[in-house]
Amino acid sequence: MALMTGEQYIESIRKMNMEIYQFGKKVENPVDDPILRPSLNSVRMTYDLAQLPEYQDLMTTISPETGERINRFTHIHRSTTDLRNKVKMQRLLGQKTAACFQRCVGMDAFNAEYSTTFEIDKKYGTHYHDNFKKFMLYCQENDLTVDGAMTDPKGDRGLAPHAQADPDLYLHVVEKREDGIVVRGAKAHQTGICNSHEVICMPTIAMGPDDKDYAVSFAVPVDAEGIYMIIGRQSCDTRKLEGSDLDVGNVEFGGVEALVIFDDVFVPNDRIFMNGEFEFAGMLVERFAGYHRQSYGGCKVGVGDVLIGAAAVAADYNGCPKASHIKDKIIEMQHLNETLFCCGIACSAEGQPTESGNYMINLLLANVCKQNVTRFPYEIVRLAEDIAGGLMVTAPSEKDFRDPKLGPVIDKYLRGTNDVTTENRLKILRLIENLCLGTAAVGYRTESMHGAGSPQAQRVMIARQGNLGMKKKLAKAIAHIED
């Protein structure tokens, strides 16, 4: 089975035996949990769209390894066209879900592991690349969703992993056996982990010789013994328990993050992709982060498209679509959003092959892309809230709207243009609220700041990649300075 249907995907997650906690209780079945289900629906979209002929070229590709049609989320990029198609696919999925669809972290981990394991093996004669390729083929053949786990809790940010007061604040090897290793620690902010089949763990920073036990990378099923997850709260999450579609804003789709604990988890030898080669930790981090910073030039743009559309609909319903300042604000939102897309496409078009043969994005441009993402969605949100008006945060609940006494009053006084129902006006405002302040704000707004690395992480990379020395030479040449 090279491609799963959406329904097969849902049932495959139902069959897993994950240990998930939320609100102090064990979640018996995430598939039927009202708070978690919308996030599963977003991942499902990566399967559903892959079945449709009109999206086949974007959502799927032929695996060079097996000759089979596979989902692009399990593909190793072999050209700049592949890299551009990845970004376009992510924009499409952002448009269809208005949420984080979660499956990209695994795709980005795949491509970072592919080239890094190749280079470790070249230096040390290890077999990590073969291990990784075997795992990759298993995921391609079974169309699996893979989580990419990088972010350790990190404790005291001023101390290296081995120097922390608590040795578990970075995930590390606690036992080496004949048949594998045992790892302990945690990964924070894990996007989509409870909707994934497998998880690839990677180090979170460059490491030194004393951090050898922390320089570890591997893949395990998310229901492996010793793994458990604590679901993160999202703003307005319990609205999903109230039974009101109107109040939720985006009833079908969402994203999810969790704190994932690795409580002495066994990893068999053939699932290990790095084990002690500390000088390659930085390479893996830089490549994974680079790919994920490219990703944001796709997914956030797609969600931005929905928010821009919602703001324009709100303006229509308010009766002011032709006001010059409204038109100008919508133009500004589009300008900002398309600038992010330009960055995603540019870092892809400027990609280069690695030693292993897969394609890497241009690191400088990918970091510029993500740096812009830490700013522009905030401005887009500001403009959307400006256009929507205060009602997006003061509108009464659906229960009041359905009440025999209050409903007609709300309908009368909260109407905009007379040809649009008050209910539709409230629906579009709730969607804007969801994207700017509610559950989707995790994926659109704050994740734009911290996802794929906080702003300073990109500035470090821009400083490293920006080639300031060359620019100084250019200036001196023009100014006729010889020194």
Q: Which does residue 344 touch among Fe ion, ligand SF4, none (CB within 5 to 8 A, set by kind)?
A: none
- On whether the CB atoms of residues 131 and 117 are closer than 8 A, the answer is yes
Residue 101 sits in the site that holds ligand SF4 (CB under 6 A): yes
Q: In what order do the strands lie in the sheet with 20-22?
A: 25-26, 20-22, 227-231, 258-268, 180-187, 172-176
- Residue 104's binding partner among Fe ion, ligand SF4, none (Cβ under 5 to 8 angstroms by kind) is ligand SF4
Tokens of 385: 């809230």
Burial (Cβ within 10 Å: 0-12, 13-18, ≥19) of residue 48: middle
Binding flag, residue 148, ligand SF4 (CB under 6 A): no
**Shortest distance, position 103 Cβ to ligand SF4, whole Å:** 7
**Interface pattern 445-474 for ligand SF4 (x via CB under 6 A):** --x---x-----------------------
Residue 249 has what DSSP assignment?
Answer: S
- Contacting range for ligand SF4; rule: CB under 6 A; set: 96-104, 221-229, 359-367, 380-388: 96-104
Binding mask 275-314 for ligand SF4 (x = CB under 6 A): --------------------xx--x---------------
Cα–Cα distance list, 354 to 217, 358, 374 (Å): 20, 6, 28
CA-derived radius of gyration, the chain: 24
- Rounded to whole angstroms, the Cα distance separating 437 from 367 reads 26
Closest C-alpha among 148, 155, 161 to residue 190? 148
**In the complex, minimum distance from the CB of residue 299 to ligand SF4, in angstroms, rounded to a whole number:** 3
Is 216 in a helix, a strand, or coil? strand
The answer to whether the CB of 183 falls within 8 A of the CB of 218 is: yes
Which segments of 198-257 are extended strands (E)? 198-201, 216-221, 227-231
As measured in angstroms, the least distance from the Cβ of 166 to ligand SF4 is 29
Q: Which of ligand SF4, Fe ion, none does 305 bind, CB closer than 5 to 8 A by kind?
A: none
Nearer to ligand SF4, 253 or 262 (CB): 253
Alpha helix positions (H), 19-158: 37-48, 56-59, 80-97, 104-124, 128-142
Stretch that binds Fe ion, among 49-57, 111-119, 330-338, 448-456 (CB under 5 A): 448-456
Out of 13, 49, 104, 361, the residue judged to bind ligand SF4 by CB under 6 A: 104
Q: How many residues bind ligand SF4 (CB under 6 A)?
A: 12
Locus of tokens 């669809």: 101
By C-beta, is 43 or 183 nearer to ligand SF4? 43
Stretch that binds Fe ion, among 46-54, 165-173, 310-318, 447-455 (CB under 5 A): 447-455
The site string for Fe ion over 427-446 (x = CB under 5 A, - otherwise) reads --------------------
Residue 299 contact, options ligand SF4, Fe ion, none, Cβ 5-8 Å cut-off depending on partner type: ligand SF4
Q: Which of 152, 205, 429, 179 is nearest to 310 (CA)?
A: 429
For the CB of residue 102, give the shortest distance to Fe ion in the complex, in Å: 8
Q: What x/- string results for residues 186 through 205 when contact with ligand SF4 is judged by CB under 6 A?
A: -----x--------------
Report what 20 binds from Fe ion, ligand SF4, none; CB cut-off 5-8 Å by kind.
Answer: none
Residue placing its CB nearer to ligand SF4 in the complex, 104 or 207: 104
For the chain, counts of helices (H) and of strands (E): 19, 14
Cβ proximity to Fe ion, 376 vs 401, nearer residue = 376
Active site residues: 100, 104, 191, 257, 292, 296, 299, 447
Q: Which is nearer to Fe ion, 93 or 429 (CB)?
A: 93
Q: Beta strands of 197-351 (E only): which ranges?
A: 198-201, 216-221, 227-231, 258-268, 272-275
Phi/psi of residue 49, each to 5°?
A: -65, -30
Binding mask 449-468 for Fe ion (x = CB under 5 A): --x-----------------
In this structure, the dihedral spanned by the alpha carbons of residues 212, 215, 216 and 217, taken in order and rounded to 10 degrees, is: -160
Q: Is 409 left (phi over 0), alpha (psi -120 to 50) or beta?
A: alpha
Confirm if 154 and 204 have CB atoms less than 8 A apart: yes
Q: Is 145 in the site for ligand SF4 (CB under 6 A)?
A: no
Interaction site with Fe ion (CB under 5 A) = 451
Interaction site with ligand SF4 (CB under 6 A) = 100-102, 104-105, 191, 295-296, 299, 443, 447, 451
